[in-house]
Amino acid sequence: MTADLTHIDTWLFDLDNTLYPEESGFMGQVEGRMTDFVARVTDLPRDQAYTLQKKYLAEHGLTLRGLMLNHGVDPADFHALFHDLSLELLAQDPDLVSALSQLPGRRFIFTNADDKHAERVLAHLGLADLFDDVFHIHSFGFTPKPDPVGFQRMLDAHGLDPRATSFFEDSERNLQPAYDLGMTTVLVGPQAQHSTAPFVNHRTTTLTPFLTGARLKEAV
């Protein structure tokens, strides 16, 4: 069904596995380097390091947050892991560029990644000029999604009206605080259609067809 987004004038997007398809496999590279790092910091075998990595993700919304709290990890050291990752798995999507450029109002990135990673990925995808700002993990003081504090800091920083904001995200649980604040939530990805969460307003396997098919506010 066509989504009615005629009340939306602010567009908030997660970055990884949202502005490019999960099937690209890019996040698999990110996770692999993360597991190696956790193993090095903790001296755990790699399989146990992976388990701990996912435990911290579940408990804190971000593996890095758990590493900071429990192992004194410097976030700069952690983020440096990903700054030289090859981006060859990520392909530009001209239709997505067109769909994003036609959205009325302001557009923002809201990501648990750092600024350097976001800049690299957006530039590679040809999307860097389409967003008013990137609200990254440093911007919200390392209180990652789904912590409601991070969401409130995003709203306050840019004077956003949540009732006129739509948030696009591949992680279901990250949509809960957005919904609670009054945003229109859109779950993106291959598992989206299976979601029955009451805080998910719309579901789409891929982003571009959803945006091109939605009813939007007319430009004034």
Residue 156 and residue 109: Cα distance in Å, rounded?
A: 15
pLDDT of residue 49: 97
- The CA–CA distances, whole Å, from 49 to 34, 80, 90, 190 equal 9, 19, 27, 27
- pLDDT of 219 reads 61
Q: Mind listing the pLDDT tens digit for each residue in 127-179?
A: 999 999 999 999 989 999 999 999 999 999 999 999 999 999 999 999 999 99
Q: What is the pLDDT of residues 14-73, one digit of tens each?
A: 999 999 999 999 999 999 999 999 999 999 999 999 999 999 999 998 999 999 999 999
The backbone torsions φ and ψ at residue 161, rounded to the nearest 5 degrees and listed phi first, read -95, 110
Please state which CATH class domain 4-22+91-216 belongs to. Answer: alpha beta
Q: How confident is the model at residue 218 (pLDDT cuts 50, 70, 90)?
A: confident
33-59 burial, b for 16+ CB within 10 Å, e for fewer? ebbebbbebeebeeeebbebbeebbee
pLDDT digits (tens, 9 = 90+) for 59-113: 998 999 999 999 999 999 999 999 999 999 999 999 999 999 999 999 999 999 9
CATH 1.10.150.450 given to domain 26-82: yes
Chain region(s) in the chain for CATH 1.10.150.450 = 26-82
pLDDT grade for 215, boundaries at 50, 70 and 90 = very high
Residue range(s) in the chain whose domain bears CATH number 3.40.50.1000? 4-22+91-216
